Amino acid sequence: MDSQGYLDELRGLLRGLSKTEIEEAVSFYSEFISDAGITTRKEIETRLGTPKQLARKIMADHSVKMDDESEEKIRPAHKSSKMIWLITLVILSSPVTLGIGGGLLIALVAVILSMVILVVVLFAGLIVGMVGALYAGILLLFQSLNTGLFYMGIFLTTLGLLLILLPIIYWICRVVLQCTANFARYLYKKFGNRQESGERK
């Protein structure tokens, strides 16, 4: 039976959920398929998408639901980033939302990626400058005391700047990641609801 094969494939793709959640999801879509009177796999995929697309949607729904339930708590950064990627996969895998949602997410990912590259280059420059100043300071310390101390001072200043910037950059990264997670959740809810209302028609 086509629907059973589809549901078995879906069950295999929902590895991140608990057994109870997997069975609830599979049971829900099994009822949906039987109530709609869908018999062939092609009809199922027309209504629900491929098992992989549906699994991504279920995982994103689960992630958003869990995120909404823990709204008062501070979410760890790795959970926010996991939710962002799940929602990105769902939006990009759906042909209906690819145009608008995909464009917004691609722009958002490009901005975040450019910020990450900027931070990495900044820290790499500080570290290279710090190591260069230390090396020059040690070499010149025995030839010219004042010049050697000057470079050692540059080393210590750069080290202090690095130690001051680390917590600030960490805090900024957490805020950007949380804002991105909230924006991705907003996009998912907005375009997910639009897609569901389109399917009902």
Q: What is the mean pLDDT of residues 130-144?
A: 88
Comparing 29-33, 63-67, 92-96, 114-118, the range with the smallest average pLDDT is 92-96
What is the per-residue pLDDT across 99-112, written as a single tens digit (0 to 9) for each?
A: 555 566 677 777 77
Min mean pLDDT across 23-37, 45-59, 174-188 is at 174-188
Please give the helix or strand (H or E) that residue 57 lies within, else none. Answer: helix 51-69
The pLDDT-based confidence of 74 (bands split at 50, 70, 90) is very low
Q: Quick check: 137 pLDDT over 50?
A: yes
**Rounded average pLDDT over 119-142:** 87
Question: 64 or 117, which is more confident?
Answer: 117
Distance CA 75, CA 32 (A): 33
- On average, the pLDDT of the chain sits at 75
Is pLDDT larger for residue 28 or for residue 196?
A: 28
**pLDDT for position 91:** 55
pLDDT in tens, 107-129: 777 777 788 888 888 888 888 98
| Banded model confidence at residue 13, pLDDT cuts 50, 70, 90 | confident
First and final CA of the chain: distance in angstroms? Answer: 27
What ranges do the domains of the chain cover? 1-48, 51-200
- In eight-state DSSP terms, residue 159 is H
Distances (CA, A) of 111 to 99, 118, 129, 131: 18, 11, 27, 30
- Any alpha helices (H) in 14-102, and if so which ranges? 19-36, 41-48, 51-69, 77-93
For residue 187, with 0-12 CB atoms within 10 Å meaning exposed, 13-18 middle and 19 or more buried, which class applies?
buried
What is the per-residue pLDDT for 33?
Answer: 82
Would you tell me how many other CB atoms lie within 10 Å of the CB of residue 6? Answer: 22
pLDDT (mean) for 130-148 = 88
Tokens of 96: 């209906």
